[in-house]
Amino acid sequence: MFLDVNLKNIAMDRSLVDLRDEAPSMWSVVQRESEKPVTARRESWVDLNLTYGVCPQCRHRTNLTEGTASAPCSNCGGTFPIDWVHPC
- Kindly list the residues in this chain that would bind Zn ion in the complex (CB under 5 A): 55, 57-58, 60, 73, 75-76
Residue 17 or 69: the one with the smaller Cβ distance to Zn ion is: 69
Q: How far is the CB of 44 from Zn ion (least distance, A)?
A: 12
Residue 12 or 47: the one with the smaller Cβ distance to Zn ion is: 47
Q: How far is the CB of 14 from Zn ion (least distance, A)?
A: 29
List Cα–Cα distances, 65 to 13, 16, 29, 37, 45, in angstroms.
Answer: 33, 28, 11, 23, 16
Q: Count how many Cα atoms sit within 13 Å of the Cα of residue 64 in the half-sphere of its side chain.
A: 29
Residue 3 or 58: the one with the smaller Cβ distance to Zn ion is: 58
Torsion of CA 36, 41, 5, 83, to 10 degrees: 70
Q: How far is the CB of 59 from Zn ion (least distance, A)?
A: 7
